[in-house]
Amino acid sequence: MKILVLNTGSSSIKFQLFAMPEQVVLASGLVEKIGEASGAVHYRNTNDSGEQNIVHETMVQDHGVGLTEILNLLLDGSTGVISSTDEIVAVGHRVVHGGVYFSQPTVIQKDVLIDLKRISYLAPLHNPACIKGIEVAEDCFTKAAQIAVFDTAFHQSIPDYAYRFAIPKEYHDQHGLRAYGFHGTSHKYVMKRAAGHLNIALGDFHAITIHLGNGCSMAAIQNGKCIDTSMGLTPLGGLMMGTRSGDIDPSVLLFLSAHLDMSTHEIDQLLNKRSGLKGLTGTNDLRSILAKYDEDDVDAKLAIAMYVYRIKKYIGAYAAALGRLDAVVFTAGVGENSAAIRTMVCDKLGILGIELDDTRNTALDRGTCSIQSEKSNVNILVVPTNEELEIAIQTFDVVQSRQ
Ligand code: AMP
């Protein structure tokens, strides 16, 4: 069964075409700068004649044209991997915000689109683009099932005392103000991989998953269900990130508004785009910050210390919330690739039974690896995340359940 996974942004469409249940990627790529003067289509396939990489620079007027470009490459005699659009049985869409409506992958019907539009105010930068992706895919793939997979869904099991804000209840009841959490597809994927690797039944698995990419978040997992996460109403809360501040005393926002006369838009840009590692060091690329750290650069030292300290605080908090811990799981660009950050995060966590093995930490194989020492009471794992594959798996499961 062929399943197309789409991740639609305001000016881009990322895609992967999977053969399921084999979990083989047949083609993948990206359409970028949609609506701009100079766009580009990147396409990679694996077919009988080997692997091809194509970059095609062209103006892409809108998302409909972008998806048609992808489709043409998928169908083309020399680059293609399908002979008809009907071969694609389902399209799995990454949808950022599902609000309280969606805790499972969902077949997209009219009422679902209405609900998605209704909650778009909660993710104004993301959900309108996802909706556009769904609408153009419905036009291109008239026979395929369209399935929405939500970044927020995995966190819908969080109890109210953890997701509510301590403000008058009408703001929750009337406006939906509460923590929702994001990166759920990644946390769920690495949780399942980690439990499988350790041979622990998911329903009995207690873990802290740490997604450290450009965006960073953590999840506390009890019996295979999320009971807390670091991001909140939007992906701005929690850990310090590439360009986002993470948690901040709310009175800072009041100060920026009242004393510096900043508008809502300016504060939004400051906290989302000009803060975090970038705000403290001038770059959000952790590799170059680590290089400066090694040269004793003062800004890099402080930024890394703050970044690591916050992760450690969340580990302590989640260990207390969970009461039992089978594994700490690192994933995403930094979590998978930086032995130095993993070392700093795990330093002095012996009090929680978390002890790293330096040799294992620095010499990783591909795939899931255990990096704890023999003395450690808690497993420490590095698990490469794969959100597209998780979307394909969930989409496949929905299609199977309907047959
Ligand atoms: P992601 O959003 O998951 O693609 O992760 C992007 C982040 O991972 C960027 O901050 C990169 O600098 C960081 N990253 C990628 N490779 C490494 C590495 N080998 N060491 C440290 N950071 C890395």
pLDDT digits (tens, 9 = 90+) for 360-397: 999 988 899 999 999 999 999 999 999 999 999 999 99
- Which residue stretches of 282-338 are H helix? 286-294, 298-322, 332-337
**Is the Cβ atom of 285 under 6 angstroms away from ligand 1?**
yes
**Sheet order of strands, 106-107 included:** 50-58, 39-47, 24-32, 13-19, 2-8, 88-95, 145-150, 106-107
Return the SS3 of 166.
Answer: coil
Same domain assignment for residues 137 and 236: no
**Cβ proximity of 194 and 383 under 8 Å:** yes
Q: Is the residue at 341 inside a domain?
A: yes
- Domain carrying residue 104: 2-150
- 15, exposed or middle or buried, with CB in 10 Å at 0-12, 13-18, 19+? buried
**194 alpha carbon to ligand 1 midpoint, in Å?**
21
Q: Is the residue at 403 inside a domain?
A: no
Q: 297 versus 49: which is more confidently predicted?
A: 297
Please report the atom of ligand 1 found closest to the CA of residue 286.
Answer: 12
Q: Is the residue at 174 inside a domain?
A: no
Same domain assignment for residues 303 and 235: yes
Same domain assignment for residues 145 and 207: no
**Tens digit of each residue's pLDDT (9 = 90 or more) over 98-114:** 999 999 999 999 899 99
Same domain assignment for residues 236 and 93: no
Number of domains in the chain: 2
Residue 49: is its pLDDT beyond 80?
A: no
The two structure tokens encoding residue 398: 């929905």
**Tens digit of each residue's pLDDT (9 = 90 or more) over 242-300:** 999 999 999 999 999 999 999 999 999 999 999 999 999 999 999 999 999 999 999 99
Of 150, 180, 209, which closes a domain?
150
The two structure tokens encoding residue 205: 């698995």
Please report the atom of ligand 1 found closest to the CA of residue 277.
Answer: 10
What is the domain-level CATH number for residue 43? 3.30.420.40
Same domain assignment for residues 365 and 221: yes
DSSP conformation letters of 381-402: EE----HHHHHHHHHHHHHHHH
Angle formed by the axes of helices 63-75 and 127-140, to 10°?
50
State the Cα–Cα distance between residues 19 and 210, nearest whole angstrom: 29
Find the range with the poorest average confidence among 117-126, 343-352, 367-376.
Answer: 117-126
State the Cα–Cα distance between residues 13 and 299, nearest whole angstrom: 36
State the Cα–Cα distance between residues 372 and 327, nearest whole angstrom: 10
Same domain assignment for residues 355 and 253: yes
The average pLDDT across 30-59 equals 89
Same domain assignment for residues 365 and 260: yes
Q: Is the residue at 116 inside a domain?
A: yes
Same domain assignment for residues 12 and 102: yes
Q: Give residues with Cβ within 8 angstroms of 14, minimum separation 6.
A: 6, 7, 8, 29, 30, 388
Same domain assignment for residues 245 and 140: no
**Is the Cβ atom of 288 under 6 angstroms away from ligand 1?**
no
The average pLDDT across 25-40 equals 93
Q: Is the residue at 162 inside a domain?
A: no
Q: Note the residue count of the chain.
A: 403
Same domain assignment for residues 211 and 94: no
Q: Is the residue at 244 inside a domain?
A: yes
Q: Is the residue at 170 inside a domain?
A: no
Same domain assignment for residues 132 and 244: no
Active site residue 151: yes
**Is the Cβ atom of 334 under 6 angstroms away from ligand 1?**
yes
Same domain assignment for residues 123 and 217: no
Q: Is the residue at 21 inside a domain?
A: yes
Work out the number of other CB atoms within 10 angstroms of the CB of residue 12: 18
Helix, strand, coil distribution of the chain in percent, nearest 5: 45, 20, 35
Work out the number of other CB atoms within 10 angstroms of the CB of residue 367: 10
